[in-house]
Amino acid sequence: MRLLERVYLVGSGEIGLSDTWDCHVYALDGGDEITLIDAGGGRPASYTRILQNLADDGLDPARIRRLILTHWHPDHARGAAGWRDRLGVTVYLPEIERAHLEQGDAGMPPCPVDVGVAHGDRLRVGDLTLEAIQVPGHSPGICAYLLDLPGRRVLFAADIVFFNGIIGLINHPGSDLTRYREHLPRLGGLGVDALLSGHLLFALRDGQRHIDRALARLSKGFVPLSIGQLDVIFTPPDDY
């Protein structure tokens, strides 16, 4: 599903684009190569449907060279080993979460991490460049990736911040409201046009206003609206 020039949504369990375990999986057309942002949940239907979606969008899976993971949680990273085995992709993951993937935490197939990512790193993906912005809070090392296209600034926001200012605070080890307060300001003032998160709705225009809404809520005394508040916002599939 083409979202923007050179940016595609090729997997998503929530909208029925791929397997129910999958987060939103994005593809970047970098000219002579394709990069996947996140891997999905790694069940057989995930690979089959994502590969078909790529083909339907005119993207040759043989051009996929890199898999850039925003964080280690299974709906985003469990598919990494399978993509590496199938296509020989270079796997990127925030360095401080490397051990979770390499030792196969949460029942994931262990997968080597070829490149450990840190805050401020600039990643070349074909003729495009992504800037890593580390915003711990949802997980200890989660990164957003900023992409500048002609006339448009795109943020792959993972599970850091969502449409309408929802944040990714969850009841899970490593998820921390204090770290959100400390690090979410890194996304302030970026002038984001397209906000492409790991779940829920995405925004193709005025994306910064959703980030700013989250920042405003964090500045107040109440717990901000988060994806982890009961199942009101996001209900995982029954077989998750």
Give the torsion through C-alpha atoms of 123, 124, 128, 130, to 10 deg: 0
* pLDDT attached to residue 27: 98
Question: What's the first-to-final CA gap in the chain, in angstroms?
Answer: 24
- Two structure tokens written together for 195: 């906000």
CB 160 within 8 A of CB 185: no
- Domain spans of the chain? 2-218
Euclidean distance between CA atoms 227 and 138, whole angstroms = 10
SS3 track for 160-192: CECHHHCECCCCCCCCCHHHHHHHHHHHCCCCC
Of the CA atoms within 13 Å of residue 41, those in its CB half-sphere come to: 20
* pLDDT attached to residue 41: 96
CB 74 within 8 A of CB 107: yes
Euclidean distance between CA atoms 199 and 41, whole angstroms = 13
User: Model confidence at 236, in pLDDT bands (50, 70, 90)?
Assistant: low
* pLDDT attached to residue 87: 97
- Please state the rounded mean pLDDT for residues 182-191: 98
CB 195 within 8 A of CB 212: no
- Please state the rounded mean pLDDT for residues 28-33: 96
Tens of pLDDT along 118-163? 999 999 999 999 999 999 999 999 999 999 999 999 999 999 999 9
CB 176 within 8 A of CB 138: no
| Other CB atoms within 10 Å distance of the CB of residue 146 | 19
Q: Is the pLDDT of residue 220 over 80?
A: yes
**Phi-psi map region of 31: left, alpha, beta (phi>0 left; psi -120 to 50 alpha):** left
Residue 82: closest CA among 115, 123, 39, 138:
39
User: Model confidence at 240, in pLDDT bands (50, 70, 90)?
Assistant: low
Average pLDDT score, the chain: 94
By CB atoms closer than 10 A (0-12, 13-18, 19+), residue 69 is buried
Query: H-type helices in the chain, by residue range?
Result: 44-56, 74-77, 80-87, 98-102, 177-183, 208-218
Euclidean distance between CA atoms 39 and 27, whole angstroms = 10
- What's domain 2-218's superfamily in CATH? Ribonuclease Z/Hydroxyacylglutathione hydrolase-like (3.60.15.10)
Q: Is the pLDDT of residue 233 over 60?
A: no
* pLDDT attached to residue 183: 98
Tens of pLDDT along 67-86? 999 999 999 999 999 999 99
DSSP bridge pairs for 161:
167
